[in-house]
Amino acid sequence: MKTVFAPGKAILAGEYAVLHGGPAIAVAVDRGARAWLEHGQGTAPSPFVVAALDKAAKELNAPHLLQSGHLGVDSSGLYEGTKKIGLGSSAAVTAAALGAAFVAEGRSLDDKQKLFALADDAHAIAQGTRGSGIDVAVAVYGGAIKFQRKNGEVSIEQVELPDGVRLTFVFTGQSASTPMLLGKVKALAESQPARHEAAIGRLLSQAHAFCAAVAHGEARELIAAADAYREAMQFLGDAAGAEIVTREHAQLAMLARRHGGTAKPSGAGGGDLGVAFTVGADATHALREECRAAGLNVLSLGAPAPGLRMEMES
Q: How confident is the model at residue 76, as a pLDDT? A: 93
Residue 41 pLDDT > 70: no
Note the pLDDT of residue 72: 87
User: How does DSSP assign 10-46, residue by residue?
Assistant: EEEE-TTGGGGT--EEEEEEEEEEEEEEEESS-----
pLDDT greater than 80 at residue 311:
yes
Q: Which fold has domain 2-161?
A: Ribosomal Protein S5; domain 2 (3.30.230)
For the chain, give every domain's residue range. Answer: 2-161, 165-298
CB 143: neighbour CB atoms within 10 A?
Answer: 17
C-alpha dihedral sign at 287, 289, 293, 296: positive
In CATH terms, 165-298 corresponds, of 3.40.50.1820, 3.30.70.890, 1.10.10.10, 1.10.287.70, to 3.30.70.890
**Taking 80 as the threshold, does the pLDDT of residue 281 lie above it?**
yes
Residue 179, pLDDT score: 87
pLDDT tens-digit map of 97-133 = 999 999 999 999 999 999 999 999 999 999 998 889 9
Query: pLDDT of 131-185, one tens digit each?
Result: 899 999 999 999 999 999 999 899 999 999 999 999 999 999 888 888 899 999 9
Which one, of 246, 276, 209, 260, lies nearest residue 17 by Cα?
209
Q: 216, 244, 39, 19: which is closest to 135 by C-alpha?
A: 19
Q: What mean pLDDT do residues 25-29 have?
A: 98
Is residue 313 very low, low, confident or very high in pLDDT (cuts 50, 70, 90)? low
Confidence band of 83 (pLDDT split at 50, 70, 90): confident
Average pLDDT score, the chain: 93
Q: In whole angstroms, what separates CA 308 from the centre of its chain?
A: 14
Q: What is the mean pLDDT of residues 199-209?
A: 98
68: pLDDT strictly greater than 90: no
